[in-house]
Structure formats: C-alpha cells, structure tokens
C-alpha cells in the first residue's frame, strides 16, 4: 500500500528525469494528473511554451524557482499547473485549508490568473478563491478561510492575515510571487516581507517576473531556497 502512494515532492523520479532532459513538448508528456490534463485539453492547451517546458519539471520535482520571461510568454500556466499537481498528489481536501497562494500585483492580473485557474482546474476538486481589494472585506472573510488555493493582491492578503479570524496559512505548500518586478515597482516590498513572515518556512516558493532587476534578485534571495534560475530570452 505504501509503495502505491505518490512520492513526496522532490523525490518523484520521473519529474527529476524530465528536469535533467527537458525534451517534452506537449503537456501530455509530463507526469500530470488526469484532472489537470483534462483541464488543459478542454482549455485548448496542447504544446508547452518555452517557459512552461523549462520550469514545470523543476517545480514538479519540488524545487524553488525564479522564472523570467517577457509578458505574454505563458508564465501563468508555468506555475498554476504545478500548484494544482502538488495539492493533488498530497490528496489535498477542503479540511486541509490553504495549500497554494498566488500573489499578483494588481486586481486585473489577479482576476486573469484566477480565470485561468478556474478553466484548467475545473476537473479538480480543490477550491479556489480570489482575494483582491475593492470588494466587501466582510464578505470575503467567510470565504477565505475555506479555500485551498487563493489568488491575491498583496495589501488585501495582508489585511486578511491581520484581521480575519480563522485565516490560517500554517499548512501552506506553495507560494507564488507573480510579476515580481511589478509588485516591487508598486511599492509592495514591505507588504510582501510581512506576508512571507506569516508563512511556514517549509513551503516551496516560486517567483516569476518579466524582468530581472536587482530588486527582484534581492527578493529572490530573501524568499527562495536554493532556487533554479530559468530565463527565457526568445519570443515563444
């Protein structure tokens, strides 16, 4: 029975093998769960973009990662797929609480990520919520305590961490900082530091950015552990 269980992240031999030989071109060639593959197929996603091909095997293997590629290169699926996979492999359920957290600089970008998550995640049973400013915070409070994956803007997330009774991130498996350059440009550096202080140290952390400024590298040094560095320069 033990042998039939999924190996913990970081010890999946197939993922490690793919990371050393990044030859897979289609999502089907990756060791992804059936609900993820179905979601991708129904969403019309077949061939991986370069950033996805380069990043996903490393992330599936449990590594922290800094991924840089220009806007429009497909970074969203590069992190959403492995977040869903990690929770699926852990048999994450409602009772396990918050497992994945995606932080995005603006409401508009957070909404876009959430829409992609809804589309490719629709065959999964885990719950997902959107936590952005401009909506009634009280209404959000009830819901954020029940979600497995949250897509957030920094200010609103920190507000819930400080004020929402029952908001609990102690089980968090994966943190994603998306569009890190814009998060920093918008002045959220201190907010991100406070958020990260509230998160368990044992988590996996992924940082994505269109550009690699010194500020982004500094944030990477503070929030990532022995990360893979992936930069895609070509249009793809």
Q: Give the dihedral of Cα atoms 33, 39, 42, 48; nearest 10 deg.
A: -70
| Residues binding Mg ion: number (CB under 5 A) | 1
Q: Considering only 47-55, 86-94, 217-225, 228-236, which stretch makes contact with ligand ADP by CB under 6 A?
A: 47-55
Could you tell which of Mg ion, ligand ADP, none binds residue 193, using a CB distance below 5 to 8 A set by kind? none
The backbone region for 118, taken as left when phi is positive above 0, alpha when psi lies in -120 to 50, beta otherwise, is alpha
Interacting partner of 74 out of ligand ADP, Mg ion, none (Cβ under 5 to 8 A depending on kind): ligand ADP
Please, what is the minimum distance in Å from the beta carbon of residue 115 to ligand ADP?
A: 10
Task: Say whether residue 10 binds ligand ADP (CB under 6 A).
Answer: no
Tell me: does residue 74 bind ligand ADP (CB under 6 A): yes
Round to whole Å and give the CA distance between 200 and 191: 17
Distance in Å, CB of 210 to Mg ion, minimum: 8
Give the whole-angstrom CA distance, residue 26 versus residue 77. Answer: 13
Q: For ligand ADP, which residue of 15, 18, 30, 48 counts as binding (CB under 6 A)?
A: 48
Q: Which of 53, 75, 89, 124 binds ligand ADP (CB under 6 A)?
A: 75
d(CA 169, CA 119): 25
Report the side by side order of strands in the sheet with 100-103.
Answer: 128-131, 149-152, 100-103, 174-177, 204-209, 65-68, 228-231
Considering the complex, what minimum distance in angstroms separates the CB of residue 110 from Mg ion? 10
User: Which residues from 61-90 bind Mg ion, rule CB under 5 A?
Assistant: 75
DSSP three-state, residue 101: strand
């819930």: which residue's tokens? Answer: 160
Query: Where on the chain is the footprint of ligand ADP (CB under 6 A)?
Result: 45, 47-49, 52, 69, 71-77
Query: Where on the chain is the footprint of Mg ion (CB under 5 A)?
Result: 75
């Amino acid at each position: 029975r033990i042998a039939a269980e999924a190996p913990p992240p970081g010890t999946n031999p197939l993922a490690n093998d793919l990371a050393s030989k990044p030859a897979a071109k289609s999502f089907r060639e990756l060791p992804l769960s059936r609900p993820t593959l179905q979601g991708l197929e129904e969403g019309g996603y077949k061939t991986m973009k370069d950033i996805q091909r380069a990043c996903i095997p490393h992330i599936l293997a449990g590594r922290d990662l800094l991924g840089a590629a220009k806007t429009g290169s497909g970074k969203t699926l590069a992190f959403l797929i492995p977040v869903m996979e990690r929770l699926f492999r852990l048999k994450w359920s409602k009772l396990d609480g918050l497992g994945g957290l995606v932080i995005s600089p603006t409401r508009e970008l957070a909404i876009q990520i959430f829409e992609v998550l809804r589309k490719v995640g629709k065959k999964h049973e885990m719950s997902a919520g959107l936590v952005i400013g401009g909506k009634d915070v009280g209404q959000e409070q009830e819901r954020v305590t029940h979600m497995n994956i949250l897509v957030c803007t920094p200010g609103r997330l920190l507000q819930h961490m400080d004020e929402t009774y029952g908001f609990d991130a102690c089980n968090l498996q994966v943190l994603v900082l998306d569009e890190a350059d814009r998060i920093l440009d918008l002045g959220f550096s201190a907010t991100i530091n406070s958020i990260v202080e509230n998160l368990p140290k044992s988590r996996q952390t992924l940082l994505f950015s269109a550009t690699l400024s010194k500020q982004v590298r500094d944030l990477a040094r503070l929030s990532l552990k022995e990360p893979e560095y992936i930069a895609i320069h070509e249009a793809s």
